[in-house]
Amino acid sequence: MGSSGMGIDANGKPIKRQAPANNNNNKKGGNNQKRGNNNQNKNNNNNRNNQGGNQNRNQQRPPHQQQPPMMPMVPPFGPMGPGGPGFMGGPPAPNAGFFNGGGPQQNRRSGGGGKNNGNRNGAPPSGYNGPSANNVGQGAVGNGLSGMQAFSGAEPSAMEVPGFGKNSNIHELFGKMIWRKMEQIQDSALMKLWILILLNLLVAESVVRTSYGNWSLEKLGDRNSPSFLIDEPNRQFLLDGLPFRYISGSIHYFRIPRERWDERLQKVRALGFNAIQYYIPWNTHELEEGIHDFSGILDFAEFSSLAYHKYNLWTILRIGPYICGEWENGGLPAWLLTKNVTKQRSSDPVFTREVEKWFETLLPRVKPLLRKNGGPVLMLQIENEYGSYDACDKQYLRFLRDLTRAHVGDDVLLFTTDGSAENLLKCGTVEGVFPTIDFGPTDNTKEIQSNFDLQRKFAPNAPLVNSEYYPGWLVLWGQKRQDLPSPQTIINGAQFIYSLGASINFYMIHGGTNFGFWNGAEVEAPCITSYDYDAPISEAGDVTTKYLEIRKWVKGLKDWSTPPQDVPGNSPKARFGKIKMRLAHSTEKLNSFIDKEFSDPGDCVDSEKPMSFEALKHPLGLVAYQAVGYRF
């Protein structure tokens, strides 16, 4: 390409060299050409000398630090292309840093990291935000030549690369790379082509969009900036650019008295867990339409902040709008039933309009907590086990996906959770959202492997995740306690899940209490007030045998980076002795009770037919119905 009389423009079309405008310019050009030839000869000698010296030094380096031989006229995506050892060519070798720079023991200005960089060796300086989808794209590439220095045969100063901060080492590195190439190329058309190629490579390698919709700086940036994303080639999570997986526990802020949050979270951390998971129940935060409450026991932002800042626990957030969770109406407000909704949890326009209003209130409160903003929230679940619902409305799932992204951005990981059956995953998943599964407890390794094989079918290039592994179970009214597997079965199953490289969430690690009338219901019966769930941390906050066995298992994980801490003591208990009950009233005396207690106007509602709670705008509690004035 260097010896051809034709250049190539940015569109790949040949460019004819143009004759100089006059004889004076010809002479000048000839002189410049002679000087250029002299410089070229001089540079060629220097290059040969340097290349020999570098090669000798290269052989003395450890294998992972040896540099490839110089290939001055080979484009970056030639033999040194993706997966190779050259510029922008695949992942760095062990201890290699930014742009395959040196390891921690080397302090190269153009790629190596200092002694303080550790695993993030060679990353850009702190405060670096990296290019975004908005400021690095075709426009930046197309206009990239305007800010470049003209090649003069001398080593230039650092050049500013679009999308990177002025203090980044990449400017000096980029300038040197251009100089080393341009000193060997005198044709201006080829110079422009080289710069265009390099800029395109920079953008292509910097900004990567994964199958799950989160934009990331996989090769250049996120090692030094808060982020949580999926590394698809390696089927793993990356937290701030480093490999990550979690052992988490479900614990619901709205089922725990606020003054007990600290104690419960401390016991989760003492297990050796590194994350918590919880739902946000819409109906609890908006009991009455248009009136929102995020105070006291409902201050989920404070709950996650406490978990993160005091106990280093990350948050996996499940935003709904439907949450299930054995909660009243699955978290959907009762007042929705007064709307003309043909089917809830569907693309019905009346329903989606109300969801839009709720997310407009909720998600601005979630956004500051996201990891990309320096917060503890790693990813967001939309809906909940939607495949188990009979709607199978993909338009609805796309609506939730797009609505959530409109508020939090494209660089936040969204996920779904469904049971481990193919028909459930078919209806519960949607493109651009990471699908996870739930199952257990079981120590049947073939069953566990089969479940994850199914997840792989829907997410072939993603990490394995069990979002709900059940160490206990709920109890309905009239039931005795559940017949649950032994702690050893739970541990054996968790160990095999861990051995597969999966992340796991224990649902529940602490259940708590269904205060008031918030207990949900199954088809056959309502849930009881207690949500103890036979969880490792009891409803009262006590450590159980199951807790100690799980902690022992985590402690024995040799490669786990969050070892258990000392177990806090249980809270003190009191004996109340015998309590004498007295009769308040009975159903036989209900008529007189109503007449006495509800005699003021407005306390009673007259109607020809019995009215529902929703029609009475009475979301929770009791309603006494009385027929008056009729004779049969």
Which residues have a catalytic role annotated? 385, 468
The SS3 assignment for 465 reads: strand
Q: List the one residue out of 217, 78, 79, 105 whose CA is nearest residue 96.
A: 105
Residue 429 CA to residue 413 CA, distance in Å, equals 14
Element (H, E) at 317: strand 314-320
Which neighbouring-strand residues pair with 318?
279, 381
Contact by Cβ (8 Å): 129, 165: yes
Q: How far apart are CA 390 and CA 218, in angstroms?
A: 39
Residues 277 and 248: beta-carbon distance below 8 Å? yes
> Tokens standing for 183?
């000193």
β-bridge partners, 506: 249, 469
Please count the residues of the chain: 632
- Give whole-number Cα distances, 242 to 28, 97, 107, 225, in Å: 56, 13, 21, 11
Cα–Cα distance for residue pair 554/536, rounded to 1 Å: 14
List beta partners, residue 216: 208
**Cα–Cα distance measured from residue 65 to residue 103, given in angstroms and rounded to the nearest whole number:** 7
Between β-strands 377-382 and 314-320, what pairing exists: parallel, antiparallel or unpaired?
parallel
What CA–CA distance (Å, rounded) separates 221 from 421?
A: 38
Phi/psi-derived region of residue 360, left when phi > 0, alpha when psi is between -120 and 50, beta in every other case: alpha
Residue of 464, 271, 238, 277 whose CA lies nearest to 377? 277
Contact 275, 378 (CB under 8 A): yes
Show the CA angle centred on residue 86, arms to residues 80 and 89, nearest 5°.
80
* DSSP 8-class letter at 2: T
Angle at 490 between CA 487 and CA 491, to 5 degrees: 85
Kindly tell me the burial class for residue 487, based on how many C-beta atoms sit within 10 Å of its own C-beta (0-12, 13-18, 19 or more). Answer: buried
Helix spans in 107-187 (H)? 138-142, 170-182
